[in-house]
């Protein structure tokens, strides 16, 4: 009898425990597409449905890009019961979610802990549980939660607690935890993505509020200067990442047209070495073969998605050159040799310094060529603003 009882109570406990854990929601960095970088505040239901179609027809889905995320500006008004309705550009959110799911993709949405989003639309302040429940009913799989007007609440907390230097941080963390708890309470695995521009080191408290990823910087744009300022500022953050917890240096600009091919290769190389979430932000209907070859390079994606789940970090930097490494499974290492200068440069890595005392096999990710066995120092001639991305193995 006792044995039966304990088996039964175990079964109840197991049933009561959530069917998912943080690392199960995002065991590797999330991949997908987000509406903001291209469509911004003009996005419509039709744009998102056709993006879902093109995720399939371009091969993006099969390359691993699974989430289709509607960013800011889908919201309409709250009714007398506090229920938030979408605006006229999004007539049927449940239908949109069903459509995205019918393509073998996942549905992402956006809100703010503040009263207003960054675009001035309705935020979730005071309606967290109600909104989370509605997202779950719509079949939402991903929430980006953007600080925006909650800056005002931070300022207010500072003004009200003049003796507490942490008041603004604490009120913000509590707001993010409130939504994290509300998402968990829905029982649906919803990936929780924090967007508060890296203020107060979210890599230290993000997992505690139930998040799987958190922005580490202010917004990216489609320029080489901004992209490298963000990417190379990530040095030192690798120890905070791992399965279920990812640093997010913002979405990809590859394919948006204002960087050169070498600059976009640098963008992709840096992001995969950083084990960054890969959220494409381009117009999928205008993807060139070059955009496709960058976003869907199998080896680059495999570096990002490596099951070891380690973020890479800087090995070396000089005025113009940067060398970064990322540990991979099976004793392999990814190496990025970056040239930030205006002319061609030789960039080198000492194979012994990265753990290969007896030489190593080198594979070049962008040329898709095996470079054979090398020993001592390997040098690549790298074009201006370009990169050599290597997979090194014993
Ligand atoms: C902020 C975020 C962006 C985007 C916009 C939308 O700037 O950082 O990624 O979501 O808001 O308004």
**Full DSSP string of 149-194:** THHHHHHHHHHH-TT-TTHHHHHHHHHHHHHHHHHHHTTS--EEEE
Cβ–Cβ contacts within 10 Å for residue 326, how many? Answer: 23
230 pocket-lining for ligand 1 (C-beta < 6 Å):
no
Cβ–Cβ contacts within 10 Å for residue 66, how many? Answer: 20
Torsion over CA: 72, 78, 83, 88 (sign): negative
> What is the C-alpha to C-alpha distance for residues 96 and 265, in angstroms, rounded to an integer?
33
Ligand 1 centre to CA of 262 (Å) is 26
The series of mean pLDDT values per 10 residues for the chain, 394 residues long, is 41 43 86 97 98 98 98 98 98 98 98 98 98 98 98 98 97 98 97 98 98 98 98 98 98 98 98 99 97 98 98 96 98 98 98 97 98 96 98 98
> What is the C-alpha to C-alpha distance for residues 85 and 245, in angstroms, rounded to an integer?
31
Report the residue among 33, 34, 36 best suited for mutation to probe ligand 1: largest number of ligand atoms under 8 A from its CB: 36
Both tokens of residue 388? 């050599």
pLDDT digits (tens, 9 = 90+) for 317-336: 998 999 999 999 999 999 99
Ligand 1 centre to CA of 147 (Å) is 9
Q: How far is CA 28 from CA 69, 74, 302, in A?
A: 18, 28, 10
Please pick, among 47, 131, 146, 222, the residue that the annotation labels catalytic: 146
Contact 147/196 with Cβ under 8 angstroms?
Answer: yes
Choose among 59, 51, 16, 6: nearest CA to 281. 51
Please pick, among 170, 219, 262, 283, the residue that the annotation labels catalytic: 219
Sequence-separated (6 or more) residues with CB below 8 Å from residue 394: 331, 332, 356, 360, 361
- Is 146 one of the annotated active-site residues of the chain? yes
Q: DSSP string covering 370-392, please?
A: EEEEE-SEEEEEE-TT-EEEEEE
The radius of gyration computed from the CA coordinates of the chain, to the nearest angstrom, equals 22
Report the residue among 34, 119, 195 best suited for mutation to probe ligand 1: largest number of ligand atoms under 8 A from its CB: 195
Contact 262/384 with Cβ under 8 angstroms?
Answer: yes
What number does the ligand 1 atom closest to the CA of 73 have?
12
> What is the C-alpha to C-alpha distance for residues 334 and 305, in angstroms, rounded to an integer?
12
Which residue's C-alpha comes closest to atom 1 of ligand 1? 118
Which residue's C-alpha comes closest to atom 5 of ligand 1? 118
> What is the C-alpha to C-alpha distance for residues 232 and 100, in angstroms, rounded to an integer?
34
Sequence-separated (6 or more) residues with CB below 8 Å from residue 383: 262, 339, 344
Contact 304/275 with Cβ under 8 angstroms?
Answer: yes
DSSP label at residue 83: P
Ligand 1 centre to CA of 249 (Å) is 13
Torsion over CA: 312, 232, 376, 383 (sign): positive
Both tokens of residue 69? 């995320």
> What is the C-alpha to C-alpha distance for residues 329 and 204, in angstroms, rounded to an integer?
25
Ligand 1 centre to CA of 192 (Å) is 15
| pLDDT at residue 20, rounded to an integer | 59
Q: What is the pTM of this model?
A: 0.94
Ligand 1 centre to CA of 280 (Å) is 14
State whether residue 64 is helix, strand or coil.
Answer: coil
| pLDDT at residue 11, rounded to an integer | 41
217 pocket-lining for ligand 1 (C-beta < 6 Å):
no
Contact 379/388 with Cβ under 8 angstroms?
Answer: no
Q: Max Cα separation, the chain? A: 79
Contact 316/378 with Cβ under 8 angstroms?
Answer: no
Q: How far is CA 6 from CA 1, 12, 48, 74, 110, in A?
A: 9, 10, 50, 49, 43
181 pocket-lining for ligand 1 (C-beta < 6 Å):
no
253 pocket-lining for ligand 1 (C-beta < 6 Å):
no
Ligand 1 centre to CA of 362 (Å) is 39
119 pocket-lining for ligand 1 (C-beta < 6 Å):
yes
Report the residue among 32, 42, 72 best suited for mutation to probe ligand 1: largest number of ligand atoms under 8 A from its CB: 72
Ligand 1 centre to CA of 155 (Å) is 20
Which residue's C-alpha comes closest to atom 6 of ligand 1? 72
72 pocket-lining for ligand 1 (C-beta < 6 Å):
yes
């Amino acid at each position: 009898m006792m044995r039966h009882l304990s088996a039964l109570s175990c079964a109840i406990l197991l049933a009561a425990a959530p069917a998912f854990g943080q690392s199960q929601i995002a065991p590797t960095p999330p991949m997908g597409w987000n509406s903001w970088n291209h469509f911004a505040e003009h996005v419509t239901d039709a744009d998102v449905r056709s993006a879902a179609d093109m995720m399939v027809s371009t091969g993006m889905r099969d390359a691993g890009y699974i989430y289709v995320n509607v960013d800011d500006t889908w919201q309409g008004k709250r009714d007398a019961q506090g229920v938030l309705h979408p605006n006229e550009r999004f007539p049927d959110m449940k239908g949109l979610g069903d459509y995205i799911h019918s393509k073998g993709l996942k549905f992402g949405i956006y809100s703010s802990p503040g009263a207003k989003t960054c675009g001035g639309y309705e935020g979730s302040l005071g309606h967290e549980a109600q909104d989370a429940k509605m997202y779950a009913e719509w079949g939402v799989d991903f929430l980006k939660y953007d600080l925006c007007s909650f800056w005002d609440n931070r300022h207010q907390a500072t003004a009200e607690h003049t003796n507490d230097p942490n008041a603004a941080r604490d009120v913000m963390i509590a707001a993010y935890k409130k939504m994290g708890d509300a998402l968990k309470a829905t029982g649906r695995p919803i990936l929780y993505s924090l967007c508060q521009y890296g203020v107060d080191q979210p890599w230290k408290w993000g997992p505690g509020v139930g998040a799987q990823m958190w922005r580490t910087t202010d917004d990216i744009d489609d320029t080489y200067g901004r992209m490298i300022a963000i990417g190379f500022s990530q040095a030192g953050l690798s120890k905070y990442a791992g399965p279920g917890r990812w640093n997010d240096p913002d979405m990809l600009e590859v394919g948006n047209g204002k960087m050169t091919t070498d600059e976009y290769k640098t963008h992709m190389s840096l992001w995969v070495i950083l084990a960054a979430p890969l959220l494409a932000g381009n117009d999928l209907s205008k993807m060139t073969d070059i955009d496709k070859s960058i976003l869907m390079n199998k080896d680059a994606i495999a570096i990002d998605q490596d099951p070891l789940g380690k973020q890479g970090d800087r090995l070396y930097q000089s005025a113009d050159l940067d060398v970064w490494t990322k540990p991979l499974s099976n004793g392999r290492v990814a190496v990025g040799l970056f040239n930030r200068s205006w002319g061609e440069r030789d960039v080198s890595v000492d194979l012994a310094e990265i753990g290969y005392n007896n030489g190593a096999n080198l594979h070049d990710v962008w040329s898709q060529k095996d470079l054979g066995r090398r020993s001592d120092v390997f040098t690549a001639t790298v074009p201006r603003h370009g990169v050599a991305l290597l997979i090194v193995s014993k």
